[in-house]
Amino acid sequence: MQFRHEIKHEISNLDVLVLRQRLRAVMVPDSHAKNGQYAVRSLYFDTLEDKALREKLDGTNIREKYRIRLYNNDPSVIHLERKFKRGGLGYKESTTLTLKQAQLIANGDIHWMTTSTDKVILGFYSRIRNEGLMAKVIVDYTREPFVFSPSNVRVTLDYNIRTALFCTDFLNPHCTTIPVSDSPCILEVKWDNFLPDVIRDMVQLGDRHNTAYSKYAACRMYD
């Protein structure tokens, strides 16, 4: 299990402009970005008692959550992801779903999972059966991703956070989304063993501090 260091800052639109220029000088855009960015859509799952949400709001040190994610509204590649957090470290397991499998999950049909040999799917199935995981909310946003090979550094600028109203059919292009009120832009920095000084210096923004801002928690306010 390879944990990665993760830090997150709430930043302004002006900060995004400044960082974009800095990062382009040293880092390269992620290969999946189109014109330097892509749209992210995630469907998050939680228990009936909102365990993942409560743990996030309470600042619980060890947390886990599941989501289904696609990029640029392209259903040809859909990911089921398990995110595991321990303090400032994060670990992600991911597997690819077919369009049919993703739609079945969105519809609440999980019986097909029992025949899978994929550990992420089987783990998800176990949480659904034992903890009652269910689709809770859609989270949309725009991401500008930058990568730096030494120490596998990834820096992202996220903004335009939106959420769906009373809709969890994340494959439906007509599912209405609205902007999340007062949502900031988010700077995220992730790396393996060390953060090179050149990157550390570039992402310094004066009095900005680490934040516990959660797109999932912010979007759940509209339930």
| Average pLDDT, integer, range 18-42 | 91
Query: What's the confidence (pLDDT) of residue 135?
Result: 93
3-state helix, strand, coil in the chain (%, to 5): 30, 40, 35
Query: What's the confidence (pLDDT) of residue 222?
Result: 72
| Average pLDDT, integer, range 62-86 | 94
**Residue corresponding to tokens 């992730």:** 190
Candidates 139, 143, 137; CA nearest to 186 is 143
Displacement of CA 65 from its chain's centroid (Å): 10
Q: Do 120 and 95 form a contact (C-beta atoms < 8 A)?
A: yes
* pLDDT greater at residue 127 or residue 1: 127
Q: What percent of the chain has pLDDT over 90?
A: 75
Strand partners, 10: 186
Q: What percent of the chain has pLDDT over 70?
A: 98
Is 81's pLDDT higher than 90?
Answer: yes
Looking at every residue in the chain, the average pLDDT score rounds to 92
Query: What's the confidence (pLDDT) of residue 163?
Result: 94
> What is the b/e burial string over 107-133, where b = at least 16 CB atoms within 10 angstroms of the residue's CB?
eeeeeebeeeeeebbebbbebbeeeeb
* pLDDT greater at residue 205 or residue 123: 123
Candidates 186, 194, 110; CA nearest to 155 is 186
| Average pLDDT, integer, range 115-141 | 96
| Average pLDDT, integer, range 156-176 | 90
| Average pLDDT, integer, range 67-93 | 93
| Average pLDDT, integer, range 147-160 | 94
